[in-house]
């Protein structure tokens, strides 16, 4: 049985070991009003405990701090087994404890329907960063924010080169810049491919802005970004999607 207590912090690339995890990143487009409270109760009292019983966890739960289309919640579901992750929704219906606790959300109707849409992206962790890291601030339940970024590449070859850049120094540069690395992953199934998604954590917005400034000024980043292999035409990245999230009170990340 997996849960927050089983999250073991991993070192950035170089010290990370083991087979890459799989992640499902879910986006719930909510409706303002009483439905938000129903969603909170569902995630905290039904869904996340049931996912933990399946071996999925630690589960990250976030609301949008800066970004479009609010209110919206994001769930990050990590699993060592792909089948466990992709069959989770089918298995939930067999869990009597879950079904009882989930009833107000699953059976909601009328003015309390809590969401408009659910979008899902399937990911596989990078070889060089195979395990999700729970930040120390999360383990201590301290104040924190998360920067979720998606890099879309114009070609598959460009995507491969961008992933190489992370393995050739970006993990360590982020760490030196004051960011807590959470995960790095390739998008396997989703609306934007080829692409990668990663998540960083900072104590607050001031630290986030300062961290990115340090990253941009880092001599190793300047050297890496100037490498002719990564300055080919087309560029490694054609579009960037960026969100700042804050953890919900029941987040395990």
What is the pLDDT, as a whole number, of residue 35?
Answer: 78
Of the candidate CATH numbers 3.30.70.3280, 3.30.70.100, 3.40.50.1100, 3.90.226.10, the domain formed by 126-247 belongs to 3.30.70.100
Global pTM exceeds 0.85: yes
Cα three-residue angle 120-63-69, rounded to 5 degrees = 70
Does residue 227 surpass a pLDDT of 90? yes
What is the pLDDT, as a whole number, of residue 32?
Answer: 82
Rounded-to-integer distance, Cα 149 and Cα 41, Å: 28
Question: DSSP secondary-structure letter at 59?
Answer: P
User: pLDDT per residue over 158-179, tens digit each?
Assistant: 999 999 999 999 999 999 999 9
Q: 146: phi > 0 → left, psi -120 to 50 → alpha, else beta; which?
A: beta
Q: Say whether 126-247 and 19-123 share the same fold.
A: yes
Per-residue tokens: 146 = 């998360």
What is the pLDDT, as a whole number, of residue 110?
Answer: 65
The confidence band for 111, taking pLDDT boundaries of 50, 70 and 90, is low
Task: Provide mean pLDDT across the span 90-117.
Answer: 89
- Helix, strand, or coil (residue 181): strand
Of the candidate CATH numbers 3.40.395.10, 3.30.70.100, 3.30.70.20, 3.40.710.10, the domain formed by 19-123 belongs to 3.30.70.100
Place of tokens 């609306």: 191
For the chain, give every domain's residue range: 19-123, 126-247
Closest by CA to 201, choosing from 245, 160, 163, 164, is 245
Per-residue tokens: 220 = 């190793």
First to last CA, the chain: 17
Closest by CA to 135, choosing from 79, 175, 163, 167, is 175
What is the pLDDT, as a whole number, of residue 67?
Answer: 84
| Helix (H) / strand (E) containing 222 | helix 219-225
The confidence band for 208, taking pLDDT boundaries of 50, 70 and 90, is very high
Closest by CA to 40, choosing from 103, 105, 118, 135, is 105
């Amino acid at each position: 049985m997996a849960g927050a207590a089983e999250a073991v912090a991993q070192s950035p690339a170089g010290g990370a070991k083991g087979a890459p995890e799989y992640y499902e990143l879910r986006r719930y487009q909510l409706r303002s009003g009483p439905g938000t409270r129903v969603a909170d109760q569902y995630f905290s009292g039904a869904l996340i405990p049931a996912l933990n019983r399946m071996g999925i966890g630690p589960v990250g739960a976030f609301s949008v701090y800066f970004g479009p289309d609010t209110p919206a919640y994001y769930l990050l579901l990590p699993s060592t087994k792909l089948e466990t992750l992709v069959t989770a929704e089918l298995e939930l219906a067999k869990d009597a404890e879950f079904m009882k606790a989930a009833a107000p959300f699953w059976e909601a109707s009328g003015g309390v329907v809590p969401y408009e849409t659910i979008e899902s992206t399937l990911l596989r962790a990078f070889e060089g960063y195979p395990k999700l890291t729970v930040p120390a601030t999360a383990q201590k339940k301290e104040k924190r924010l998360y920067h979720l970024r998606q890099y879309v590449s114009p070609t598959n070859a460009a995507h491969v080169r961008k992933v190489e850049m992370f393995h050739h120094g970006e993990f360590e540069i982020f760490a030196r810049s004051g960011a807590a690395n959470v995960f790095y992953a390739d998008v396997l199934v989703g609306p934007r491919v080829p692409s990668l998604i990663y998540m960083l954590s900072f104590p607050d917005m001031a630290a986030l802005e300062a961290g990115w400034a340090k990253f941009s000024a880092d001599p190793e980043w300047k050297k890496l970004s100037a490498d002719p292999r990564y300055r080919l035409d087309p560029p490694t990245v054609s579009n960037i999607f960026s969100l700042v999230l804050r953890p919900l009170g029941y987040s395990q990340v």
